[in-house]
Structure 1
Amino acid sequence: MRIYRPRRAVARLTALVVVLGLGLGLGLGLLHAPGARAQTPTAPETTAQQLSAVQEAPVPGFPHAVIYRLPGEGPRPVVVIVAGAEGGDGAGRRFGPILARLGYAAVGLPYYSADWGDFGPPPEFPDLPGSFIDIRVDQIADLRETLRAMPGLDVDRFGLFGGSKGSELALIAASRYPWIDAVVAYTPSDLVWEGWGLEMVEAEGTRSSFAFDGVPLAFMPYRGFVEGLMAGPGKADLRAIHENGRAAHPEREAAARIPVEAYAGPLMLIAGDRDALWNSGRMARNIVASREAAGLATTALIYPEAGHDLAGDGGPRDDPRSGGSPQADADARADAWPRVIAFLSSGLNP
C-alpha cells in the first residue's frame, strides 16, 4: 500500500515548479529562452515587407497549431516544427516565418503546456496536455491527414524539424512512418526518456514521455531527477541525471532505444559535445552507428565545443544552461544553418 506524504510532496512540487515551470532547459533546442517570446531571427536579406508577406492560418483540430506560408503558387511541401520541452508555440513563431520564406508550408505544432496546478502559474494553453507524459507521437499522422484536406499544401513532401525533446518525438515518428521524407533533429536523443508532471512527484520512474497508438513507449528512467532539482534553480545537473539514469539501467536500453534504422529517409543531426542538458553528442553518434549498421547514411554535424543552443542562426547568446560557450554555440549555428537549409531543399525540393 502506498503511503502519501503531503509535506514531502509539497517540497518536491515546489522544487520542480521552480525549475520546470520556468523551462526545463531541454527546450533550448528550438527556443533559446523557454517560456519567453523569442525574437524571430532573420536572414540578412530579409526585409520588413518579406516578413509581413508571410501568411498565418490555424490548423483545424490542433489547438494553437499555425501554418506559415507565402501567398501565391503552390502546393508547398510541409515542414512540421516540433518544439523542445517547452512544447508550446514559441518554436513555431520563431522558425515558421523563416521556413515559409524558403518556400515551405511550415506548421508550428504545440503539444504540451506545463500545468502544475496550485503549485505553479496557470498553463499558457490549458487545452494542451499539462504533463509531459504519454505525449501522442501518432498525432503527426493525424496532422498530415488534416493538412491533406487544406489547399496549397503537398503532404507527399513532408518533413520534421525538431529540437531536443522535439527531436525525440520526431525520430520516434520517423521510425514508424515511411512517408516522412526528411528529418532535421537538433540535439537529439537515441532513447525515449521518462516523463514528468504532477503525477510523477511521488512516482518517479513509472511513466514515459511518449506514447504511440495509445500505448506508452518503453523508456529510460532518470536517476536523481527530483533530488537534483530540489538543490535549487540552476543547480540541477540535467546531463548527469540523464547519463546516470542510463548507466543505472542498462537492461532497459534496448527497449527504450528509438529504432532509427527503421527510417530510410534523409536525416540530419546537429549536436554539441558540451551540451549541458543531455549528452546529445553521444546520442547523435549512437544514432549514426545504428543507421550505418543498417546501411543508411546520416548527416551528422557534431561540434566538440558547442552546447545545446544550436538551432537557427544569430550571434552569441549568453545562456549558461546550454553548455559550451556562447561563441562556440554561435560558430556552430553559423556553420550548421546553411547546411540545414540545403538539406531540407534536397529532401523536399521546395
Structure 2
Amino acid sequence: MSSFSVIDRRGVVIGLIAAPAAALFPAMAMAMARAQRAVGDAIAEAPIAGFPHAIIYRLAGPARRLPTIVILPGAEGGDGAGRRFGPILARLGYATISLPYYSQAWGEHAPPPQFPDLPGSFVDIRVDQLARLRVALKNDHGLDLDRLGLFAGSKGAEFALIAASRYPWIRSVVAYAPSDLVWEGWGLETFEAEGTRSSFSFEGKPLPFMPYRGFSEGLLAGPAADLRAIHENGRADHPEREATACIPVERYRGALMLVAGDRDRLWNSGRMARSIVAARHAAGLKTEALIYPDAGHDLAGGSAEPREDPRGGGSPIANAQARADAWPKVVAFLKRSLRP
C-alpha cells in the first residue's frame, strides 16, 4: 500500500489516504509515459548574452512561442538544478531557463567554486536581475514572456517569492521547501559579522531580514549543525523583525504551488508554507500547498526511489512517497497556470 494526499479548501494537505500501489498516481503514470516517449527528443541549448552560465533549454525543431520557466537553484548554487530540471521541463513543452546566480566559495575551507565569476557568498543577491533577464529575452520570439513562471527550491524559493511579490508579470511559481521570510545572508565576509547582511537585495538596497542564532558556530560544527534550530532560534530571538522580514506574498496575484515537509531539518518549511498560505488566504488568494508530515527537504522531482538525505530530514521512504505524490500535481499545476 502507498498513500496520496487530501487537500482542504485552502489548498493545504490535511492527511494521507492509503491506496493500492497499482492504482496510485494515474496522472504521474501518464506523465512518466509521456516523458519516456519524449526521451529521444533532442534538446536545444543556448546561452543568454549578459548572463554568465545561464542556459535556455527547449525542444529542437521549428520555432514556436513557448511558455517560459526560470529555474532558481537553492543554497547549493551553481547550475545543478538547471541541468537536472531544464531538460525535463523542456520535454513537457516549456522553454526552460537555468539561471545560476550564486556559486558558493569558501576559500581554503572548501573546493573551488563551480563558477568563480558569480557571487561566492549568499549576500545581497539581486532579485531585480530577473527583470533584467526578461528584458534580455524579449527579442527571442520562441519565448512567450507573458506566460512566465518560476521553478525553485529552498533559498531559490525564497528568491522566487520575493520576486513574485514585486513583479506582476510573473504568472506562476512552484516553490519547494519555501520560506515566508527574507533571511540573513552568509559567506566568508560574514563569518565574524553575523547578523549584519541580508540574503537578498532589490534595486541596489539590501532587503530587511531575519537574523540567525549561531550560524557561525554551525559552520564550525559542520554536518553536526542543527540548521533548523539556527533559523527557528533566530526567529524566536527577533519577533520585532518579523513584520519587516516577511515576504509580502499577498501582493502576488498569480498561481502559487508550495511543496514542503514537516520533518525538514534545514529549515522549518512546513511551518513557513502554512504561514504563506494563511497570508494569502487572508487576502482572498488561493494557494496550492502540499505539506507532507513525515517528509523532509528532498522533495523536488518525481523520483519514487528512496535515497538518503540525512541533513535534509524525513525518512528516505517518506521523501520518496512525497516526491511521487507531488510531481504529477506540479506538472498539472504548471500546465493549468502557463499553458493555454
Same fold flag (TM > 0.5)? yes
- 1:293 maps to 282
- Kindly state the Cα deviation for residue 52 of structure 1 after the two structures are TM-superposed: 5.1
- Kindly state the Cα deviation for residue 270 of structure 1 after the two structures are TM-superposed: 0.3
1:208 to 2:198 alignment: yes
**Identity value in percent:** 70
Alignment of 1:120-159 (within 5 A): 120-159=110-149
Of residues 312-321 and 208-217 in structure 1, the stretch that sits farther from structure 2 once superposed is: 312-321
1:310 to 2:299 alignment: yes
Equivalent of residue 65 in structure 1, options 28, 39, 54: 54
TM-score by length of 1: 0.85
- Is 2:171–2:254's contact at 8 Å kept on the other side of the alignment? yes
1:284 to 2:273 alignment: yes
- 1:87 maps to 77
- Is 1:51–1:97's contact at 8 Å kept on the other side of the alignment? no
- 1:108 maps to 98
Of residues 328-337 and 51-60 in structure 1, the stretch that sits farther from structure 2 once superposed is: 51-60
- Kindly state the Cα deviation for residue 78 of structure 1 after the two structures are TM-superposed: 0.5
Q: 1:101 to 1:199 in 2, by over 3 A?
A: same
Q: Deviations over 1:117-155 (max 9, x none)?
A: 344322210110111100000011111111111131111
C-alpha separation between the residues in 2 aligned to 1:45 and 1:180? 27
Of residues 94-103 and 65-74 in structure 1, the stretch that sits farther from structure 2 once superposed is: 65-74
- 1:345 maps to 335
- Is 2:198–2:206's contact at 8 Å kept on the other side of the alignment? yes
Equivalent of residue 43 in structure 1, options 6, 23, 32: 32
- Is 1:229–1:235's contact at 8 Å kept on the other side of the alignment? no
Aligned-residue RMSD, C-alpha: 1.4
Which consecutive unaligned segments of at least 5 residues does structure 1 have? 1-41
- 1:74 maps to 64
3-state secondary structure, aligned to 1:56? strand
- Kindly state the Cα deviation for residue 49 of structure 1 after the two structures are TM-superposed: 6.9
Equivalent of residue 236 in structure 1, options 222, 225, 233: 225
C-alpha separation between the residues in 1 aligned to 2:143 and 2:234? 42
C-alpha separation between the residues in 1 aligned to 2:312 and 2:193? 28
3-state secondary structure, aligned to 2:209? coil
C-alpha separation between the residues in 2 aligned to 1:121 and 1:324? 28
Which consecutive unaligned segments of at least 5 residues does structure 2 have? 1-30
- Is 2:41–2:91's contact at 8 Å kept on the other side of the alignment? no
C-alpha separation between the residues in 1 aligned to 2:298 and 2:33? 20
3-state secondary structure, aligned to 2:294? coil
1:98 to 2:124 alignment: no
- 2:236 maps to 247
Q: Deviations over 1:301-330 (max 9, x none)?
A: 000000000000111111111211011001
More strand, by proportion: 2
C-alpha separation between the residues in 2 aligned to 1:240 and 1:119? 24
C-alpha separation between the residues in 2 aligned to 1:47 and 1:329? 23
- Is 1:132–1:209's contact at 8 Å kept on the other side of the alignment? yes
C-alpha separation between the residues in 2 aligned to 1:51 and 1:128? 33
C-alpha separation between the residues in 2 aligned to 1:331 and 1:119? 36
Q: Could you tell me which amino acid in structure 2 is paired with residue 81 of structure 1?
A: I
- Is 2:38–2:91's contact at 8 Å kept on the other side of the alignment? no
- 2:315 maps to 325
3-state secondary structure, aligned to 1:306? coil
C-alpha separation between the residues in 1 aligned to 2:223 and 2:109? 19
C-alpha separation between the residues in 1 aligned to 2:264 and 2:161? 19
- Kindly state the Cα deviation for residue 116 of structure 1 after the two structures are TM-superposed: 2.2
3-state secondary structure, aligned to 2:39? helix
Q: Could you tell me which amino acid in structure 1 is paired with residue 302 of structure 2?
A: D
- Kindly state the Cα deviation for residue 73 of structure 1 after the two structures are TM-superposed: 4.4
- Is 2:153–2:176's contact at 8 Å kept on the other side of the alignment? yes
